[in-house]
Structure 1
Amino acid sequence: MTIRPDPTFHASPVLAMDAAPETLAYTLMLSPDATKPDGLAVVDVNPASPNYGKIVHTLFMPYRGDEFHHFGWNACSSSLSPLNGHPFRERRYLIIPGIRSSRIYIVDVKGGPTAAKIHKIIEPEEVFAKTGYSRPHTIHCGPEGIYVSTLGGGGKDGVSGPPGIFIMDCETFDIEGRYEMDRGEQDKHYDFWWNLPRDYMVSSEWGLPPQFENGLVPQDLLSNKYGHKLHFWDLHGRKNVQTIDLGANHQMALEVRPAHDPVKEYGFCGVVVDTTNLEGSIWTWWRDKDGKFQAKKTAVIPPEPADAANLPDLLKGFGAVPPLVTDIDLSLDDKFLYVACWGTGELRQYDVSDPMNPKLSGSVHIGGVTRRTNHPSGKPFKGGPQMIEISRDGKRVYWTNSLYSSWDDQFYPEGVPAAMVKADVGPNGELTLDKDFYVEFPEGYRSHQIRLEGGDCSTDSFCYPSAR
């Protein structure tokens, strides 16, 4: 504990944008066949460094079969909340859950890029006993603790009861228990985030463990059995106050990205695929004057026609590659929304200054099921743009290429060796791939989510409006 707030905590998004740029990135590595332990790579992202674009430290876990997916900080700018805040915590620990093992690692990164070490391990039996949930997924640091979403309920297959959210103590890392007092009709889970001063949370849906652990289940997709709803919550009351069904054909409503400025009561959700036409889509949700939430499809991304001979077995019957919107991320100034089209190998940038009318403002292609576009350095990039992270100042966008091991194998059967790349953002929003930034990982690994030193655009929740 410090006697002053951590200098990486910022009251408003604009203050965070003005902070010093990141010099390190923390990237998860997973062993798709579980023959090796998963790990954490510390990447040098300082252009002035001789190690720019290189891994300067790795930390591997003592177990195998965890399948690292998403992770987050123990504390962030939400600690500055005047309600139940812990302003003197440090942004020091990374909370890394294993989505297959339900084991959680607490990693201490204080002391420099080569000092990362395991601080604590929470075994799956403790997660099961204290929450009844399994398959921990997304981490968000809140004012009073660490929130962890899960993709599975109880039982071996994770279908004994619905998944949900549980809370951990932000100092001891003890599991305190389930979040929900009244979940309403919520019976699947994926992502969640909130507007702290307005005291509401929004969550989304993917599917239950039998629908994703061994790969995409085609009959479930074509029968519209994956998630397609947004759930809105009274954050402190811990109850579901409204659910919006986006339509059963809008399968897999994944990442939710509220506006960073808490004055703005809107946000975005990415939908993987429309089963009627293979489109991906972006939805804008907002709260109207009477307190009710609304949602509207505001952008669509069409599939790309393709010769069946060039398609994996899963797609041969469709004669096209769906964009597969698997991640979205919003810049801190709430101006640009980045959309990962993992199937077509495209990273799209939308100007969302008007959140109801996103306008395509930039695009780069790399990887893709049929395009297979190389990095500008000439190096291959398998898979497609997947987990996105944006620098606080909005000038750099980083991403990796693996979605989930069993899904990687279905859509990219030739393999998805780990890669991490970066694009620079021009003054008007255009994107340019950095030919000098291509991170090479240990052989046999895949790469997933990225966290940036000092916070990033999918980490922090801000408590005060921006002054400009």
Structure 2
Amino acid sequence: MNMRPDPTFHASPELAISAPAESFAYTVLLSPDASQPDALAVIDAKPGSPTYSQVVHTVPMTNKGDELHHFGWNACSSSLSPLTGHAFLERRYLIIPGMRSSRLYIIDTKPHPTQARIHKIVEPDEIFRKTGYSRPHTVHCGPEGIYVSTLGGGGPDGTDGAPGIFIMDCETFDVLGRWEIDRGEQEKHYDFWWNLPRDYMVSSEWALPPQFENGLVPEDLLGNRYGHKLHFWDLRARRNVQTIDLGANHQMALEVRPAHDPIREYGFVGVVVDTTNLEGSIWTWWREDGKFHAEKTATIPPEAADASLLPPLLQGFGAVPPLVTDIDLSLDDKFLYVSCWGTGEMRQYDVTDPRKPRLSGSVHIGGIVRRTPHPNGKPFAGGPQMVEISRDGKRVYWTNSLYSTWDNQFYPDGIPGTQVMAHAGPDGGLTLADDYWVEFPEGYRAHQIRLEGGDCSTDSFCYPSVKA
């Protein structure tokens, strides 16, 4: 344990923005056919380095079929909380859930990212026994522990009880128990995040395990049976205080991105598809006079396409939906990035006015029909998927795989693992970097990215920025 706070902990977003740039990126790799263990790749992200944009270290897991997905740090800037912080922890360990296996890997990144190794494995039995949950998904470091959301309850198919969030000790990595005391009408789960000083959490919904593990279920989608609600929670009391239904046609409300500056009580959520017109959408939520509100503030239309160019799942529609599968918000709360995995587009919105997003930049790469190559001329399979932004907002990284069975439905020709980066202008605009192209070992697909020292979907801040 350090005797001083970790230098990568920053009291406010503004202080994090001015911190040194990342030198390494961590990316989880999936073996879609489970023929080899999944892995963590460490990528050199320092311009001018002789190994720039190359994998410089790989940590293979010990089991096959984990389906590594979202992951996070054991500690972050939330440790500076004046109430229950652990200011002397280090941002040292990565907590990596196996979504299919319900196993957790704890990866030690010290003394150097290129020497990262497995520190501990939390087996599924411990999670089941202490929480009744399965299919761990999103990891966030809170001031008093590690929070992990789940997509399944108990039983073989994960439908014995609702999924929820459990807490882990941030030093021993023991599973402590369920977080919720009163879940209200929350029955499905996906992402979650919070405003720590304002003492609230927001969570979203994707699906129950039978609706995603073997691929998208068309009957459930057209029947509007995927998630479409936002849940707001009293963080300290651990109870659901309000639920907003976005409308059953707004299927799969996924990533939630609250404003980073805690003085701002608003945030964004992306909706994958509107079943009435195949649009993707962005919604803004905010709190006013103690009550939460949400409204659709941006839509992204589908693109017409010849049915012969479409995978069987989409041929009856004659169009490609944008499929908004990830969003990310810059630390200054100015730009929202939106991954359109179906149409092969990364969108940048100026959200200075959070209820009036303005499209300020866009690049195309990949896509179900477009198949736009990278500026270096190499083909990019899949489309922009998990997106991560550097702390200074100048670099936007993304990968191309969503989830193994869904990849196979929408991109049946395969999705070799790739990671790219775009430069973002200070006043808007995106340009793909032609010298940043990460190819992963054959047989792997690439999912979420974490940046050394923290990034825009990792840290929670306890103090306002001076420039707010």
TM-score class, shorter:
over 0.9
Q: How big is the shift at 1:427?
A: 2.4
Distance 2:425 2:77 in 1: 27
- The DSSP-based 3-state class of the residue aligned with 2:283 is strand
Equivalent residue letter for 2:294:
A
- The DSSP-based 3-state class of the residue aligned with 2:113 is coil
- The DSSP-based 3-state class of the residue aligned with 2:210 is helix
Distance 1:170 1:112 in 2: 20
Contact 1:388–1:449, Cα closer than 8 Å, also in 2: yes
Equivalent residue letter for 1:250:
H
Whether 1:187 aligns to 2:187 is: yes
1:263-412 equivalent positions in 2, closer than 5 A:
263-288=263-288, 290-412=289-411
Equivalent residue letter for 1:222:
L
Equivalent residue letter for 1:409:
N
- The DSSP-based 3-state class of the residue aligned with 1:220 is helix
Distance 1:5 1:384 in 2: 39
Contact 1:362–1:430, Cα closer than 8 Å, also in 2: yes
Equivalent residue letter for 1:455:
G
Show the counterpart of 1:92: 92
Q: 1:429-450, CA deviations, whole angstroms, 9 ceiling, x for partnerless residues? A: 1100000110010000000000
Q: 1:59-114, CA deviations, whole angstroms, 9 ceiling, x for partnerless residues? A: 10110000001000000000000111100000000000000000000000011132
Q: How big is the shift at 1:426?
A: 1.4
TM-score, normalization by structure 2:
1.00
- The DSSP-based 3-state class of the residue aligned with 1:377 is coil
Distance 1:257 1:428 in 2: 21
Distance 1:337 1:372 in 2: 24
Contact 1:284–1:295, Cα closer than 8 Å, also in 2: yes
Q: How big is the shift at 1:240?
A: 0.1
Q: How big is the shift at 1:116?
A: 0.3
Show the counterpart of 2:149: 149
- The DSSP-based 3-state class of the residue aligned with 2:15 is helix
Distance 1:267 1:393 in 2: 20
Show the counterpart of 1:29: 29
Show the counterpart of 1:228: 228
1:167-178 equivalent positions in 2, closer than 5 A:
167-178=167-178
Contiguous gaps of at least 5 residues in structure 1: none
Equivalent residue letter for 2:73:
W
1:204-283 equivalent positions in 2, closer than 5 A:
204-283=204-283
Distance 1:422 1:443 in 2: 21
Contact 1:344–1:371, Cα closer than 8 Å, also in 2: yes
Whether 1:461 aligns to 2:460 is: yes
Distance 1:130 1:114 in 2: 34
User: Which deviates more from structure 2 when the two are superposed, residues 108-117 or residues 364-373?
Assistant: 108-117
Equivalent residue letter for 1:44:
D
Whether 1:15 aligns to 2:11 is: no
Equivalent residue letter for 2:208:
L
Distance 1:121 1:63 in 2: 10
Contact 1:216–1:407, Cα closer than 8 Å, also in 2: yes
Show the counterpart of 2:67: 67
Equivalent residue letter for 1:287:
R
- The DSSP-based 3-state class of the residue aligned with 1:215 is coil
Q: 1:198-241, CA deviations, whole angstroms, 9 ceiling, x for partnerless residues? A: 00000000000000000000000000000000000000100000
Equivalent residue letter for 2:301:
P
Equivalent residue letter for 1:284:
T
- The DSSP-based 3-state class of the residue aligned with 1:186 is coil
Q: 1:95-148, CA deviations, whole angstroms, 9 ceiling, x for partnerless residues? A: 000000000000000111321000000000111000000000000000000000
Distance 2:416 2:268 in 1: 30
Distance 2:105 2:401 in 1: 21
Distance 1:40 1:65 in 2: 14
Show the counterpart of 2:130: 130
Distance 2:353 2:51 in 1: 40
Distance 1:114 1:334 in 2: 32
Show the counterpart of 2:119: 119
Distance 1:425 1:280 in 2: 23
Distance 1:152 1:123 in 2: 16
Q: 1:29-82, CA deviations, whole angstroms, 9 ceiling, x for partnerless residues? A: 010000000000000010120111000000101100000010000000000001
Contact 1:56–1:113, Cα closer than 8 Å, also in 2: no
- The DSSP-based 3-state class of the residue aligned with 1:114 is helix
Show the counterpart of 1:6: 6
Distance 2:21 2:189 in 1: 33
- The DSSP-based 3-state class of the residue aligned with 2:126 is helix
Q: 1:377-398, CA deviations, whole angstroms, 9 ceiling, x for partnerless residues? A: 1111000000000000000000
Equivalent residue letter for 2:144:
E
Equivalent residue letter for 1:2:
N
Distance 1:53 1:351 in 2: 28
Contiguous gaps of at least 5 residues in structure 2: none
Contact 1:30–1:38, Cα closer than 8 Å, also in 2: yes
- The DSSP-based 3-state class of the residue aligned with 1:435 is strand
Structure 1: which 4+ aligned runs deviate by more than 6 Å? Answer: none
Distance 2:96 2:113 in 1: 17
Equivalent residue letter for 1:85:
G
- The DSSP-based 3-state class of the residue aligned with 1:315 is coil
Q: How big is the shift at 1:312?
A: 0.2
- The DSSP-based 3-state class of the residue aligned with 1:37 is coil
Distance 2:70 2:365 in 1: 22
Equivalent residue letter for 2:399:
T
**What is the RMSD computed on CA atoms of the aligned residues?**
0.4
Equivalent residue letter for 1:341:
C
- The DSSP-based 3-state class of the residue aligned with 1:16 is helix
Q: 1:341-384, CA deviations, whole angstroms, 9 ceiling, x for partnerless residues? A: 00000000000000000000000000000000111111110000
Distance 1:262 1:113 in 2: 31
Contact 1:73–1:93, Cα closer than 8 Å, also in 2: yes
